[in-house]
Amino acid sequence: MFDGFAPAELDATHPTPNFDRLKREGAWSRHLVPAFPALSLINHTTFATGCWPEHHGVVSNTFLDPKHGWFSHATDQDDAIWRTGCETMWEAAERQGIHAAVFNFVDRWRGKKQLASIVNPEVLWKDHEDDETILQRAFKALKDNSPNHPRLITLYFEYPDSVAHGNGVTGPKTQDAVRRADAIVGRLMAALKALPPSREGTLLVGTDHGMKDTTGFINVTRLMNMYDIKATAAVDGASAFLYLDKGESADRVQKALSAYPNAFTVYRTGHYPPFAHLGNSIRVGDLMLVGKPPYRMVDSSALPWYVGWTGGNWLWSPIVNTGPGVVPSTHGYDPAVVDMHGIFYLWGAGVRPGEIKRLDQVDVHPTVMKLLGLQPGRSMDGHAIAAVQ
Ligand SMILES: [Zn+2]
């Protein structure tokens, strides 16, 4: 999996011989539709489990859990302890006697227990092993011809997302990151081609979400100050959960915040639109704000310090169209925003080539399990795609 890979990032980049070859010889789609909000962690977990967030419990990159407290993708380990249900593809494979290897992907550990036969160490997101290290680990696992060799190998790479946020969907640096991804794809294809005749392999390349250029932001801290909202906010990308203090009125807050229909929509827990498979747990708060392009949604912690210092959280308009805090691109919108859709490729054994019009993020897990000839995880929500023979 590559993070934050929109088809538009690939369209802008040349040459990409390996992605071109995947498309020529394999099954492909421009519409891998993410779970909402279109953020990383929620979609890593959906990709791995085939479950919607209402079932696996990881509802955003940052959320408040009554038992475990705050979770943040940036500062906590992406441990399976945060998952409330469902099985990852590697847990389902191991349960059926098939060994799996998982490198830098979330949910490979639950506390001190590793969830696949081969995993790399659990560290904070920012301290991940580098690409070359996990590639060498993957090649070693792939070359293992012993009877118990891993038949499922899962890798995670943090770009183009990490580059595109600061450089835009089609920026030169984003294109460099796409070419890096293309080179990795080429090396993985070559490694699969080099397998002995007694073995065959399939390469699946996917992403957690797409990316969209932005030209403004919604300052949630400013909104809360402006309307004297007594609540805690979990804000990321283009959405925010509000956890109201005792005594604060959801009706009042919803009414006050409904004054910005061009910038964002306010939903009450349990009254979400059909695209949100978030359930009703306390993790999603009492109200959810969903930004509309071209705005991203931030709180004061995500803005440069001088925004607060110059009165940004008390004096400025909560809807900002220019100046500090505006970044080139983001994600997290609802899946009707087509730029949130990501790339998807399937190449090699068992694949019927051709275009797949669209698939949901929950369909990846059952597709992988079908390729392996195994049952999918317990209580999963997706369907294996027809391109698997
Ligand atoms: Zn991102």
78, pLDDT greater than 80: no
Contacts 24+ apart (CB under 8 A), 264-269: 264/218, 264/289, 264/290, 264/291, 264/292, 264/295, 264/297, 265/289, 265/290, 265/292
Please state, in angstroms and rounded to a whole number, the distance separating the CA atoms of residues 10 and 239. 26
Label residues 276-289 b or e (16+ Cβ within 10 Å = b): bbbbebebbbbbbb
222, pLDDT greater than 90: yes
CATH for the 215-326 domain, from 3.30.1360.180, 3.30.1300.10, 3.40.50.720, 3.30.2320.80:
3.30.1360.180
Write out the residues surrounding ion ligand 1, Cβ under 5 A: 4, 161
Instruction: Give me ligand 1 centre to Cα 316, in Å.
Output: 26
pLDDT digits 0-9 by tens, 292-320? 999 999 988 888 888 877 778 888 899 98
List the chain domain ranges. 2-212+335-372, 215-326
Identify which of 245, 293, 341, 279 has the alpha carbon closest to the alpha carbon of residue 54. Answer: 279
- Which are the contacts of 255, defined by CB distance < 8 A and separation ≥ 6? none
Q: Mean pLDDT lowest for which of 34-43, 138-147, 242-251, 312-321?
A: 312-321
37, pLDDT greater than 90: yes
Label residues 21-46 b or e (16+ Cβ within 10 Å = b): bbbeebbbbbbbbbbbbbbbbbbbbb
What integer is the mean pLDDT of 57-67?
A: 90
Please state, in angstroms and rounded to a whole number, the distance separating the CA atoms of residues 278 and 211. 21
357, pLDDT greater than 80: yes
For residues 103 and 128, the answer to whether their CB atoms sit within 8 Å is: no
Whether the bond into 37 is cis, omega within 30 of 0: yes
Instruction: Give me ligand 1 centre to Cα 354, in Å.
Output: 29
pTM for the model stands at: 0.95
pLDDT digits 0-9 by tens, 244-298? 999 999 999 999 999 999 999 999 988 988 889 998 888 999 999 999 999 999 9
Instruction: Give me ligand 1 centre to Cα 331, in Å.
Output: 6
Other beta carbons within 10 Å of 299:
19
Instruction: Give me ligand 1 centre to Cα 165, in Å.
Output: 7
Identify which of 6, 12, 19 has the alpha carbon closest to the alpha carbon of residue 183. Answer: 19
Please state, in angstroms and rounded to a whole number, the distance separating the CA atoms of residues 347 and 190. 12
What percent of the chain stands above pLDDT 70? 100
At residue 71, the pLDDT reads: 85
322, pLDDT greater than 90: no
Q: Residue 121 carries which DSSP code?
A: P
At residue 26, the pLDDT reads: 98
167, pLDDT greater than 80: yes
> What residue type is 129 in one-letter code?
E
Please state, in angstroms and rounded to a whole number, the distance separating the CA atoms of residues 177 and 197. 34
Query: What phi and psi, each to the nearest 5 degrees, are found at residue 373?
Result: 70, 30
At residue 306, the pLDDT reads: 80
Q: Which residue has the tokens 């009554």?
A: 66
Q: Mean pLDDT lowest for which of 117-131, 177-191, 249-263?
A: 117-131
At residue 13, the pLDDT reads: 98
125, pLDDT greater than 80: no
Please state, in angstroms and rounded to a whole number, the distance separating the CA atoms of residues 309 and 288. 28
73, pLDDT greater than 80: no
Angle at 23 between CA 381 and CA 368, to 5 degrees: 30
Please tell us whether the domain made up of 2-212+335-372 is placed in CATH 3.30.450.90. no
Instruction: Give me ligand 1 centre to Cα 283, in Å.
Output: 21
Instruction: Give me ligand 1 centre to Cα 69, in Å.
Output: 23
> What residue type is 379 in one-letter code?
S
What integer is the mean pLDDT of 137-141?
A: 98
Identify which of 139, 136, 81 has the alpha carbon closest to the alpha carbon of residue 109. Answer: 81
Instruction: Give me ligand 1 centre to Cα 212, in Å.
Output: 10
> What residue type is 354 in one-letter code?
G
